[in-house]
Chains A and B, each alone.
Chain A
Amino acid sequence: MRFFVLALVSFLALANNVFAKSSTGDSVLVVIDPSLKKEDYSKFFGGLEERGYQLTFRGPRDAHPPVEQYGIPGFSHVILFTPETKSYASDITPQSLVGLLSENTNLLVTLSTKQTPLSSLSTEFSLIPPPPGTPLISHHPARSEPATVIPIPVSESPLLTPGTSPVWFSGVPHAFGNSPYLVPILRATSESFAADSLDDSGADALVDASEKAGEGLWAGSHLGLVTGFQTLKNSRVVFAGGVEMFSDEYANKALPDGTPSGNEKFVKDITAWAFRETLALRIDNTTHHRAGEEVPPETYTTNDQIVYTAHISAYDPKTSSWKPYSGITDMQLEFTMLDPHIRIALPPVAGEPGKYQVQFRAPDRHGVFKFVVDWRRKGYPLLQTSTTVPVVPPRHDQYPRFLSAAWPYYAGAISTSVGFFLFSALWLAGDVEGKKKKGLKTE
């Protein structure tokens, strides 16, 4: 009976992982500033719990629960609703947050006009924060809210549901460095800009600031407001320019034209991407063999026809399982020895979901080659795999034989053999006549 109960308990504990909503786990630590009230964000946190996440709350100066202990992360995801906190407990530092990302933990970070350790962390991710104290302002469109509360239209993105309504935003913009691992999610409107003035007399200061800074004014749609970053370990971090975007007040606020705002759907989409529910892919396995065979040989020979197959699946959050995925159309395979000798497309096989296959001829060069697949696209995880195979030159009997140029030589050699056989047969079979005379002579 006891054993049965034990077995049931362990099964349930494992089942928790099996029915995980995100592909990497369910536990979320929310570090929330004491000045912010959890109830003001009830829709956001309630939405997360509904989707199956377990939330744990703590303040930035609390030592318990720690984000990581002895190098092992305590949670699968961390949300930092601490836009204005300047000092944290000893377990949260920019280094420890980067360490969490290396250990496959995802982050959601909120920024503000104050200079905090998080804004200096964002510079490590190729984002450039504006000067402190300059929130984003826009006078367009005309509305009753103050100029710092701005409705931003949501542009098309593979992360977001198409047709999301404009979202209310209040916070700081950031500029992008040139890292291709950045995934811009929400960009500022063309008419918005970052400034610290509160009335029209600040116009001169604006022009002066733009001339002094040398990089132009912090204005326009090249500024980002919510940006994601995909790390090489495939963990994700999202930097949001303000925490009010997640609040109930903004979710309930109607847009200037009367329609409801898209905040609730938008924050749901960005947490789904950040916590690796959507756009989560992985390579299940790869195989290679000669055309016509099924098992990989020990070595390949130059000029062999080689068939390479990869199986790829995507995570389906609705069923919490990995399903085969044939949607990648531009994957490439490289056959590399120090430099790629061959680079060809690896297309999906029609009729077999998740299978990508290509056949090619091994190069003339012998050596140790690698099958390399390295697929990176904005917003998607890195799909990388590398298989090493030797390619040897042909054996002495694998060269072309019985060539027409060798006919004279075949004729000569066969003549020699036939001649020898005939001579032996005829000599043994032949008659010996001259001996009579010799015998007479000796006598």
Chain B
Amino acid sequence: MVPRIALHFTWLLLAVCVHAGSLLLQNPRFTITSSTAAQLRADTLSLTEKPEPLKLEPSDTLKLTFQITEKSEGKGVQPHQTFLRFYDSVSGEEGIQPVRVTPGGKAKFELNMARPPASLPPTTDHPLEVSLILGSFVHEPTTFDLFDLYVPSSYTPVPHPDEAKFHKLPLIHHTFRPEQKLPPKFVSAIFAALVLSPWLVLLGLWSKIGVRVPHLFSPRIIPFTVLLGAFEALLCWYWVDLKLGQVLLYGGILAIPTIFAGKTALAATGEWRTGKN
């Protein structure tokens, strides 16, 4: 009776041990070899602190070996999930690579940068944090942080054609034609003075010979003179402000009295020429 109960108890104890069993990582070692099979770096990984970051050139190979054992009994086990996780904390990219483990718990992983696995995430010049994820249906799950790894940068994948529209696009500024360049005002003033110089000559000569205008303010002449002046003023106003239709209208209105005033003026002039004679 008693031995049977003891037997049951040992089974129970064993079951408890198996369920509460956690996994241990034994002898984790890494080796970096170059393409010429020269060993660049080799070391054992300590699980309490990370080593110096590992660097891989485009033709180097990283070999990682370890053994997974059970805590309680120390014998090797093959857990369901033995994954290496490569994580870029800056860009958030992650890659998961399963590692083949023998039934005795021994595992070997090789990363050849000349033929990288599809699971390696897109990389930049930031380091990848490498950790080991262990999971099992019968043991407790664990994660071990292994080391930081620098690998060569990868090509960026081809983006979707609409991808650019989901971000701020570069600003476009229009280059306008440059403002018209004018010659210096001083030069324009000199030439304007040149153009006006004949007036000086005319005024000078007139002052010499004297201008006799006896009929200037005669009531038969002055309307025409004034209307002619008004026409000149209309022309000046057209230059500054008016539109064609308006100037033609005003000119037409002004032309009617001008015709009569002109006839009167010419008749008067004719009379003076014949009358005086």
Contact = CB atoms under 8 A, between A and B. Distances in A.
Interface stretch (B7-15, B188-196, B246-254): B188-196
Most chain A CB neighbours (cut-off 10 Å) among B99, B188, B199, B273: B188
B191 A203 contact: no
Nearest to A147: B137
Contacts of A178: 157-160, 163
B72 interface: no
B56 interface: no
A207 interface: yes
Nearest to B77: A200
Chain A at the B interface: SS class = mixed
Contact of A429 (B133, B166, B216): B216
Interface string B165-203: 110111111101100101101001101101110110000
A206 B81 contact: yes
Contact of A210 (B98, B168, B174): B98
A219 B228 contact: no
A412 B193 CA distance: 10
Contact of A207 (B98, B143, B177, B196): B98
Instruction: List the 7 closest A-B pairs by CB distance, nearest first.
Output: A139-B135, A216-B119, A429-B216, A219-B96, A220-B96, A139-B141, A343-B172
B225 interface: yes
Given A190-B87, A193-B96, A210-B98, A424 B170 contact: no
A436 B275 CA distance: 11
B172 A429 contact: no
Given A203-B82, A408-B192, A429-B221, A216 B174 contact: no
User: What interface size band does chain B fall in?
Assistant: 35 or more
B174 A407 contact: no
A330 B168 contact: yes
Given A193-B81, A364-B176, A429-B225, 4 more contacts: A200-B137, A222-B121, A417-B232, A421-B229
B38 interface: no
Interface in A63-108: none
Interface in B102-127: 117-119, 121
Contacts, number: 203
Given A198-B137, A364-B174, A432-B273, A343 B265 contact: no
B185 A141 contact: no
Contacts of A439: 277
Interface residues of A, number: 75
B80 interface: yes
Contact of B117 (A216, A407, A418): A216
B16 interface: no
A268 B158 CA distance: 36
A241 B70 CA distance: 35
A310 to B, nearest CB: 17
B203 to A, nearest CB: 11
B218 interface: yes
B73 interface: no
Given A190-B85, A206-B98, A429 B188 contact: no
Given A341-B172, A342-B173, A179 B160 contact: yes
B214 interface: yes
A362 B141 CA distance: 66
A142 B276 contact: no
A217 interface: yes
Contacts of B94: 190, 220-222
A321 to B, nearest CB: 29
A303 B176 contact: yes
A429 B214 contact: yes
A343 B265 CA distance: 69
5 contacts: A139-B135, A220-B85, A408-B192, A411-B196, A430-B214
